[in-house]
Amino acid sequence: MSAGHVKRLSLDWKATVKIGEFSRGGLTRGDNRASDHDRGCTEKYVPCGIVDEESGALTITFGSSYKTSDFIVETIAAKWDAMHDQEKADTSLIQITMDNGPESSGRRTQFLSRMVQLADVINKPIQLLSYPPSHSKDNPSEQQ
């Protein structure tokens, strides 16, 4: 990687997944038993995927809260922290492509504030790129 490299990441999160012994109609493959409903489920996870558009590497993070702006920024920060020091040093700009949902909207002050804080901490500029509504099929993290 040469100096002045743009790190392109694509980010997407999915619906909350309820964790438990659930199955349709209480049936599973084999002799296992399962509940036929998910009422009373207290354990839930939100999957969030980040694709490095250059290498195609996929990182999936599971959060135990809702899709909040804090969760999104913390996922991006964890991806940055996991990068090698040389890759961080070679990166001059981070471009993050994601859906423009309510959690990450350019009008969402909490999200923008956290992104500015992250840019200050890592000392790199961050560009946010959003797909138009209903165009998630173009998002590389959707194609994994």
7, containing H or E segment: strand 5-13
Closest CA to 80 of 107, 129, 120, 137: 120
Distance CA 100, CA 130 (A): 5
Question: pLDDT by residue for the chain (144 residues), tens digit each?
Answer: 344 699 999 988 777 766 666 555 545 566 655 555 555 556 677 888 899 999 999 998 888 766 678 888 898 999 999 999 999 999 999 999 987 766 666 666 888 899 999 999 999 999 988 877 655 555 454 544
* Block residue for tokens 């350019």: 106
Can you state the angle between helices 109-122 and 69-82, rounded to 10 degrees? 20
Distance CA 141, CA 70 (A): 20
β-pair type (44-52, 17-18): antiparallel
CA distances from 3 to 81, 86, 96 (A): 19, 10, 19
Query: pTM of the full predicted structure?
Result: 0.70
β-pair type (126-131, 5-13): unpaired
Burial of 51 (0-12, 13-18, 19+ CB in 10 A): buried
